[in-house]
Structure 1
Amino acid sequence: MLNNTQAADSIINKLHTQPIKFSYRFLKALFDIEQDYDNRVIYRTRLNGSGRLAHHVTKADLQLATTLQKFVNVNGELVFTNRHMIYQQLRALYEAPVNKDQFYAAFEKFQFNRLISTSPDSPETIKVILHSYLEPNGDLGRFVLYPSLITSMHFSKLPLSHQKFYYYACGQQGDQRGKILQINFDSLYELLHRQEPGHIRRILVDLASHPFQDQQPLLKVGRMETNMFGRPKAVYQVNGALLPSYIAGEHYRESMPIKKGIRRLLKRLEGYFLASGCDNERWYQPAFLNELAALIKGKSENYIKYVMGRVTKLGQGSLYKASEMLEIIKSELCDKAAGMRLAIAESTNVLNYLTGSKLEFGKSIRDIPIGTFRRICKQILPKLEKTYGRPAAYGTLDYKRPSVELQELEKALDLHTLRIMAFKQQLDPGAFLDLTQDAYRIWQSDNSKPSDLMNWLVWKMDELPKWRMHPDPPSDFDLFQFIQTESTLT
């Protein structure tokens, strides 16, 4: 096997730059669709279009399968994409790509044979699932590392039978670079659909004798022999000089490009989460941000703000994985209508009185006209605060925070009197404590007179917000029922 230095110094250096990591299980599933080759079942890409053979592998199928392997994620999925975007990546990957009609026919064939399935994951994009990519236990399992020569013009011009045998041979060779392999022609008849031994012999000879690049053939060994029963067999060995060496890591995968509208939204999400100090959380990853951006694209401003705030709350302390957070967000939002109304309930503080499931509450309110629901929230909030709210402070102790700094400031200023004033005026305790912390910094920096600093504090207290009642509903409180009974707008 070539080591890293040898790979870098290969006589065909270009072929080692972008190897393609291909699931062996998916490769086998692709070839297995030809088990019904002789039945000549057809499928149609259009309602009145011409029929195409559903169980015949074509060059377009090989190109589509290879492209999917290049861009699939670790879960065996391509997310927030569409068929046009996949075809554009195929065109960029191959020097001689199949045309658009051939690509769409291959895509439909893959769906017909359950190699892939699709589902919408945003208003404009789909998720593509590769069903045979992972093993049943969820691991990748065995894989084949193909050289990027399979995307070259030269390889694309080879007959389909030659291409299929090379794909098959690389899969069998694996990392046994020096081993000579054998297979009976009876098995190759099913793979290549050639019944005459002379045809298969010609494929072996062509691949082993014709220079592919820089005088190097695709096979180092390729000949026909007879087995112990006198039947023909293929003896072959893939040319190791053209094969890349495997280096562990995720660098074999590439991400699908993101649509322009999603890119703009992605920048906004990055800025918001950075400002919120979330960049060190384990869920803060490019893949998560991409999926979140596509999820909220095209939604209202209130909807977007609600999702960003909810992600920030869920992500505190990294209790959830990125995938878990996405599922929570999706289930809570229900759909666009419920999400918009949940955002209004959040912005008006009504949602803080919810004790049950956001999912169920969202389903209950999503049919209320948006303007009406906004007025309902404003109308019932005072009733909620009066019935199920508790004061933010019960006395002056709620305006006191144990700290060395404030103890020092207490010796110079009459903070107790200020706390009495703050409590009588129902000022927000958190805002008052922040103000006293600012006073300490000023006192330390410019040695202000205690009387001047005291006057400054009294003056700044006039700018502090009043407290809001803290929600404290009983555990069995039904917010939607409260809306129905207390609002005059329902």
Structure 2
Amino acid sequence: MTHITFQLSKEKSSNFVLTDGFMNALFSISENIHKKEKFKERSNGSSRLVWHITKADLMLMCTLHICFNSNGELENVSRHQIYQKLHSLYEDPCCDDQFYIAFDKFVRLGFIHEIQDGIRSEFKLNHFIDPATNKITRMVVMNPFVFKKEFTDLPIAAQKLVFDLIRKTGNNKKNDAFYWLSKGSGILKQLHKTYVYELKNIVNILASLKIDGISLLKFWKIDNQKGTRLPKLTMKLNPLLTEEYVKGMHYRQVLPGRKLNRRIVMHLRDLLASNLIGDFEYHNEGKDFYLLATKLKNKSRKFIKYIVEKIREVYELERKFPEDIIDLITFELKHKTMSEIIDISKRTGVYKFISPRKYDENRLFEFASAASSYGKREFEKLCKSAFQVFEKHFTIVPAHHTKQYAYSNLLDLFIDADTLRSDALLKQKSPEAYKKLEAYAEDRLQKDKEDPINIRKWIQEQIDLLPKWTNIADIPLGFKIEDYILNKLKHEDLPFFK
């Protein structure tokens, strides 16, 4: 039998924990595989099965448990930063599209609760805290061999069986795990298998896997239990690869969120105190102060003073801080900064990627709010660089057929209009510009009674003068271009577009 062997540098600090509640919730979706329900992350993307577990799902599950805090929460971090963490953990990580599909599916299925307001982002893992006890569900310590390429290259069914085996045995080196092999249920259903021989093939693959010369499985067997006709699979993970929970050990690498600028915080406190509204710092449990300080980052002292005076005016009018005071402040900020940022996005070409499917003023403000934290010259330079990346990865052509150039059915009766449309398509001319030609030609044909031959010749000459088409933006759902643009300030070589 061929043995799969790879080297692993064992470091206790690289162990991590998964929660039994989350694993159980994820693996339970296989019970609905018969529904064949699908979803699309991109308008022109492939349909994906909602109730089907993928390798990217397992990678995302592990990454979330590493970078979220002990309450299953993460704040002020983007999806893209989570993907960067996944990319750094795995030797052969899933591609960006697979990550975003998995993340979107987790949100759809309620595994992740996501809040995005343009300034603050918040993620929370469901099935992480037991609502009955308000404590973390049972934790299972994982060995980092799951990050190795040799493991992620295994069939998805084999990977799922390993995770389930570790979940069932827990952290006890003496525990065995067993599965009743009832047809159409249990582990066979979870692995999408029908026959016992298919399961044997999977177990044989795992039995051949060696890690640092150590077999992954200590033993396995399939036999019939006395008093029943059902066969039973018994497995035991090698104790040398079973990690025990050590109290006080740090098993997480929580991603740091965006930090407030100390200078802004101190200056804002002084201004609030001098305007006799220092209590604003503690309004709404300090959340409004945090949001205000974030919004005012890189703003001039004159601008900050103007905003604080607006807060004082509202307070003097109502003798309290309104619950929607951040909305009022946002209104002041919105119309002052938004137009400048949007103008930059239009000049550099990235505007069409902000909200490509429909005009969304809230999305434009979200983009402008993130960008307003940086100098305009520097931001414009970054937009120019990012445009080349977006144009290459996130666009589709506006036309694939001559029908998309057709405006006038009348022309089809008098001239060979389809040949002209084919010429425009071949030369990648703007469909909208070409349609204007046909509209004008139809008018000449009907009102001026002009010779169709002359009209055809005129259209042929005008085609070369038409502007070339502009590719249509088609970004993944959930991806926000500012995450990439602003991260370029810190990362010269992002793995997202490799």
TM-score bin, normalised by smaller chain = 0.5 to 0.7
Distance 2:158 2:82 in 1: 25
| Structure-2 change in CA distance of 1:85 and 1:309 (3 Å) | farther
Contact map agreement 1:169 1:238 (CA 8 A) in 2: yes
Per the alignment, residue 188 of structure 2 pairs with 189
Per the alignment, residue 222 of structure 1 pairs with 220
Contact map agreement 2:37 2:50 (CA 8 A) in 1: yes
1:336-351 matches, within 5 Å, as 343-344=308-309
SS in 2 for 1:110: helix
Cα offset for 1:25?
0.4
Per the alignment, residue 136 of structure 2 pairs with 140
Amino acid of the structure 2 residue aligned with 1:161: A
Distance 1:268 1:205 in 2: 61
Distance 2:149 2:45 in 1: 30
Per the alignment, residue 202 of structure 1 pairs with 201
CA displacement 1:309-361 (0-9 Å, x = unmatched): 9999689xxxx9xx98344646999998xx98662257xx7788688431258
SS in 2 for 1:359: coil
Cα offset for 1:214?
2.5
| Structure-2 change in CA distance of 1:314 and 1:243 (3 Å) | farther
Amino acid of the structure 2 residue aligned with 1:41: E
SS in 2 for 1:88: helix
| Structure-2 change in CA distance of 1:102 and 1:307 (3 Å) | farther
Per the alignment, residue 82 of structure 1 pairs with 78
Amino acid of the structure 2 residue aligned with 1:131: N
Amino acid of the structure 2 residue aligned with 1:223: K
1:128 maps to which of 76, 99, 123: 123
Contact map agreement 1:24 1:143 (CA 8 A) in 2: yes
Query: 75-84 or 34-43: which moved more?
Result: 75-84
Amino acid of the structure 2 residue aligned with 1:174: G
Q: Could you say which structure has the larger radius of gyration?
A: 1
Distance 2:135 2:284 in 1: 19
SS in 1 for 2:214: coil
Distance 1:72 1:307 in 2: 36
Please tell me whether residue 166 in structure 1 is matched to residue 143 in structure 2: no
Contact map agreement 1:134 1:141 (CA 8 A) in 2: yes
Distance 1:191 1:311 in 2: 59
Amino acid of the structure 2 residue aligned with 1:219: L
Point out where structure 2 has 5 or more consecutive residues left out of the alignment. Answer: 1-6, 297-303, 334-498
CA RMSD across the alignment: 4.0
Per the alignment, residue 293 of structure 1 pairs with none
Contact map agreement 2:288 2:326 (CA 8 A) in 1: no
Please tell me whether residue 237 in structure 1 is matched to residue 202 in structure 2: no
Contact map agreement 2:8 2:145 (CA 8 A) in 1: no
| Structure-2 change in CA distance of 1:268 and 1:42 (3 Å) | same
Distance 1:308 1:201 in 2: 75
SS in 1 for 2:322: helix
| Structure-2 change in CA distance of 1:352 and 1:29 (3 Å) | closer
Name the % identity. 25
Contact map agreement 1:303 1:343 (CA 8 A) in 2: no
SS in 2 for 1:95: coil
Distance 1:19 1:247 in 2: 11
CA displacement 1:28-64 (0-9 Å, x = unmatched): 1111111110111000001232211110000000001
Cα offset for 1:206?
2.9
Distance 2:116 2:331 in 1: 26
Amino acid of the structure 2 residue aligned with 1:249: G
Please tell me whether residue 357 in structure 1 is matched to residue 320 in structure 2: yes
| Structure-2 change in CA distance of 1:46 and 1:12 (3 Å) | closer
Distance 1:334 1:85 in 2: 19
Distance 1:63 1:344 in 2: 49
Distance 1:212 1:13 in 2: 14
Cα offset for 1:203?
2.2
Cα offset for 1:112?
1.8
| Structure-2 change in CA distance of 1:74 and 1:309 (3 Å) | farther
1:109 maps to which of 101, 105, 108: 105
Distance 2:332 2:178 in 1: 71
1:274-285 matches, within 5 Å, as none
Aligned positions, number: 317
Cα offset for 1:175?
2.4
Contact map agreement 1:60 1:103 (CA 8 A) in 2: yes
SS in 2 for 1:344: helix
| Structure-2 change in CA distance of 1:121 and 1:165 (3 Å) | same
Point out where structure 1 has 5 or more consecutive residues left out of the alignment. Answer: 1-10, 274-300, 371-490
What TM-score, normalized to structure 2? 0.55
Amino acid of the structure 2 residue aligned with 1:52: R
| Structure-2 change in CA distance of 1:80 and 1:328 (3 Å) | closer
Amino acid of the structure 2 residue aligned with 1:85: Q
- Name which structure has the greater RCO, CA cutoff 8 Å, separation 6+: 2
Contact map agreement 1:210 1:217 (CA 8 A) in 2: yes
Per the alignment, residue 31 of structure 1 pairs with 27
Distance 1:188 1:215 in 2: 28
CA displacement 1:246-283 (0-9 Å, x = unmatched): 2223621112144xxx45x44547xx77xxxxxxxxxx
2:12 maps to which of 7, 13, 16: 16
Distance 2:160 2:277 in 1: 47
What TM-score, normalized to structure 1? 0.56
Per the alignment, residue 325 of structure 1 pairs with 285
SS in 1 for 2:171: coil
SS in 2 for 1:236: strand
Amino acid of the structure 2 residue aligned with 1:114: G
Per the alignment, residue 252 of structure 2 pairs with 253
SS in 1 for 2:215: coil
Amino acid of the structure 2 residue aligned with 1:37: I
Contact map agreement 1:95 1:153 (CA 8 A) in 2: yes
